[in-house]
């Protein structure tokens, strides 16, 4: 398993609130895509990546950058 997949799974596995929010965000993204609302899908995906996956900034072992 790739390191970033492992990091994400471990993070969601230990916090039910994070897992629920992740699922809600995925639902929002997929619903927008199915409705062909590209603008809404893009915004939802950007929000998801920026706010739900800061851990990805640490995949290479360096600390995450703060905005």
What burial class does residue 44 get, using C-beta atoms within 10 Å of its C-beta: 0-12 exposed, 13-18 middle, 19+ buried?
Answer: buried
Q: Residue 56's pLDDT is what? A: 57
Tell me the pTM.
Answer: 0.65
Domain assignments of the chain as residue spans, ordered by start: 3-58
Q: Residue 1's pLDDT is what? A: 57
pLDDT digits (tens, 9 = 90+) for 8-67: 666 666 678 877 888 899 999 999 999 999 999 999 998 888 877 666 555 555 554 444
Q: Quote the CA–CA distance of 18 and 65 in Å, as a whole number.
A: 20
Q: Residue 7's pLDDT is what? A: 63
Q: Residue 20's pLDDT is what? A: 84
DSSP-based helix, strand, coil % in the chain, nearest 5? 75, 0, 25
Q: Residue 52's pLDDT is what? A: 73
């Amino acid at each position: 398993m790739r390191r970033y997949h492992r990091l994400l799974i471990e993070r969601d596995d230990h916090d039910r609130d994070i897992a629920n929010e992740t699922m809600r965000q995925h639902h929002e993204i997929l619903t927008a895509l199915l409705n062909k609302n590209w603008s809404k899908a893009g915004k939802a995906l950007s929000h998801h990546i920026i706010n739900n996956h800061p851990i990805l900034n640490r995949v290479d072992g360096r600390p995450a950058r703060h905005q």
